[in-house]
Amino acid sequence: MTKENLICALAVKTGSPITKLLLVKLTDSADHQGYCFPSYEYLAKSCEISVRTAKQHVNKLVELGYLTKTSRFRRNGMQRSNGYQLCLPPTVASQQYTGEYGGVDGAPITKNKNNNILEGCSSGEEVVRLLSSEGEVVIGQTFFDVLRDTYPGVDVYKELTEMRMWLYLNESKRQPANTIKYFVNTWLRRVVKVKRGQQEYSRVARQSEPQTAIKESLLAYQRKKNKHPIEARIQTLIQQKKLGAK
């Protein structure tokens, strides 16, 4: 996301708050060139709407001319997802922003003199760019596919966009470009660890609750002094059956 694109997205008229929300979310997911490829499921979950509603309003943005949609395909020819290119008209505010801060191409502005794009992980089509202490590092499709295969239970694209935002907001935490792969893998391993912890906690909770309830009921029954006559009759029948079995 760039501030210039965000200013433009907030300024346009869409005629619907849901359409505007989706436009802002797409802007947040886009790189400095205004390109992104989130799934309908991700957009729906992020905006707390249904997948059907997300599709309808994305198509509306395309009809309004604020977005172009292209199909992305796997190597075997099967469609993987849609790619989205923002087509936002420049506003006075965005022009003032780029004029004052030097963001000619709308890229995130850093205080580093070396703001060149580093190609450390950029094999294949560009997916996202992460900030390092030396400039922007391109995360390419090849590295992205490796990450998805390595962490199958994680929404890798969502985590990469969160990494980008975190690095954008925490300039002092940015590391050299040659450590970006280590940073990405450490982040994703932490996500996997948290997910496993949550799943284990849920599993233990599901198992312990019924057992606790049964034990409490049994103890309460054993503490009862005055039992119903039918209970004594049941116990007698059980004892008789046990003796007969012997």
The answer to whether residue 100 is domain-embedded is yes
pLDDT given at position 33: 78
Domain end residue (candidates: 164, 184, 204): 184
Are 201 and 234 found together in one domain?
yes
In a domain, 42, yes or no: yes
pLDDT in tens, the chain (246 residues): 567 778 888 888 888 899 999 999 998 888 877 888 888 899 999 899 999 999 999 999 988 888 888 876 665 555 567 888 888 776 533 444 444 434 433 334 333 333 344 444 555 678 888 888 888 888 888 888 888 888 888 899 989 988 888 888 888 888 888 888 889 988 998 888 888 776 665 665 555 555 566 667 667 766 776 666 777 777 777 777 777 765
How many domains are there within the chain?
A: 2
Rounded to the nearest 5°, which phi and psi values hold at 49?
A: -135, 175
Asked if residue 78 belongs to a domain, the reply is yes
pLDDT score at 123: 56
Please tell me the predicted confidence (pLDDT) of residue 178: 84
Q: Kind of pairing, strands 126-132 and 35-36?
A: unpaired
Residue by residue, DSSP assigns 46-91 as HHTS-HHHHHHHHHHHHHHTSEEEEEEE-TTS-EEEEEEEE-PPP-
pLDDT at 245: 62
Q: Are 120 and 157 in contact (CB under 8 A)?
A: no
pLDDT score of 93 = 39
Predicted TM-score (pTM) above 0.85: no
Domain shared by 171 and 217, yes or no? no
Given 184, 213, 228, the domain boundary residue is: 184
Any bridge partners for residue 69, and if so which? 84
Q: Of 163, 184, 205, which marks where a domain is finished? A: 184
Query: Which two tokens mark 93?
Result: 């505010």
**Which domain, by its residues, includes 161?**
3-184
> What pLDDT was estimated at residue 238?
75
Whether residue 189 is contained in a domain is answered as no
CATH number at residue 44: 1.10.10.10
Predicted confidence at residue 204, as pLDDT, reads 57
